[in-house]
Amino acid sequence: MLELKDVDFVRDGKLLLSGVTLTVGEGERWALLGPNGAGKSTLLGLCGAVTHPTRGTVEILGKRLGTVDIRTLRESIGHVNPRHPLRSPLSIVDVVLTGLTGTIERMPRWEPTPSQKTRALELIDLLGISDLAHSPWTTLSQGERGRSLIARALISDPKLLLLDEPSTGLDVAAREQLLETLDHIHTAHPHLAWVLVTHHLEELPTCTTHAALLRDGQVLAAGLAEETLTTDLVTQTFAHPIAINRHAGRWTATAQRGTRSS
Ligand SMILES: Nc1ncnc2c1ncn2[C@@H]1O[C@H](COP(=O)(O)OP(=O)(O)OP(=O)(O)O)[C@@H](O)[C@H]1O
């Protein structure tokens, strides 16, 4: 699904990612964690064919960046970006349908088929925002926008889903619904792979299989979730003593008082 080999990414003379190597296989559901500014969104931008590596190689769905038409590639990737740059008052239905064209606005002269419209409404229902299906984007709350963007990401039936802080702005009930929805999506689409960026381990769905820890643009650890989301490795990643626990499939992170890691 994804193979990054020894990737460096430089922007404005700054090395934002350094020597990143990561492989995501079919059906694997990855968590990507790291402190503010570690490079998580930058890494997701490469995985979503939004940017190109400065050095190293990125293969997405078997296609190497730099040798393929990225528009076609993007159609197979569902990318939930919390900074979705839409400014116009498109309805939620229309926002979701832009997932089929991989555009921010409605593509001129493009019309959805009746079955595509029906699918958009089904996904809006799945995300629990049916009442708002025809409301304009500009009036939506942050959580409502987040849910719309997940429906938008799913409409193209992607093979790879990139979720950048999908729980941001969701209230606790909506967050739990989202996590249940992700578990449900995994059951319905077992081959779908995803990478989910979060700041909070509590926001990881129980079906998470793998995790990568990023610090200062470098991968500190990557592998099976139970071997990566450990007190020791998470403490190193955040340079702060954090105790990790898992209960009923969900993770918790608690600061350990009285000690500081350097
Ligand atoms: N165009 C740019 N030029 C220079 N630095 C940049 C540019 N874009 C991002 N950065 C820097 O790159 C670093 C990584 O940013 P990124 O958004 O990937 O981090 P992140 O791990 O997603 O952070 P957060 O958890 O705060 O969302 C940050 O220090 C950011 O300031």
Q: How far apart are CA 46 and CA 29, in angstroms?
A: 17
pTM: 0.89
- Ligand 1 center–CA 39 separation, angstroms: 6
Claim to verify: residue 57 and residue 176 sit in the same structural domain: yes
Within 13 Å of residue 203, how many CA atoms lie on the same side as its CB?
A: 21
pLDDT in tens, 78-127: 988 878 899 899 999 999 999 998 889 999 999 999 999 999 999 999 88
Mean pLDDT of 187-214: 93
What is residue 258's predicted lDDT score, i.e. its pLDDT? 58
The confidence score (pLDDT) of residue 69 equals: 86
CA-CA distance, 229 to 143, in Å (whole number)? 27
- Which residues form the pocket of ligand 1, taking CB atoms under 6 Å from any ligand atom? 11-12, 14, 16, 34, 36-42
**Residue 43 sits in a domain of what CATH number?**
3.40.50.300
* Count of domains for the chain: 2
What domain range is 116 assigned to? 84-157
Asked if 122 and 111 sit in the same domain, the reply is yes
| Ligand 1 centroid – CA 179 distance (Å) | 26
In a domain, 238, yes or no: no
Whether residue 114 lies inside any domain: the answer is yes
Q: What is the pLDDT of residues 149-172, one digit of tens each?
A: 989 999 988 999 999 998 887 888
Mean pLDDT of the chain: 91
Please report the ipTM that was assigned to this predicted complex: 0.95
Cα 139 to ligand 1 centroid, rounded to whole Å: 28
Q: Are residues 21 and 47 in the same domain?
A: yes
pLDDT band (50, 70, 90) for residue 262:
very low
Rounded Cα distance between 24 and 4, Å, is 9
Structure tokens at 24: 């995501």
Instruction: Give the Cα separation of 106 and 262 in Å (integer).
Output: 49
Q: How many CA atoms lie within 13 A of 65 on its CB side?
A: 23
Domain annotation covers residue 235: no
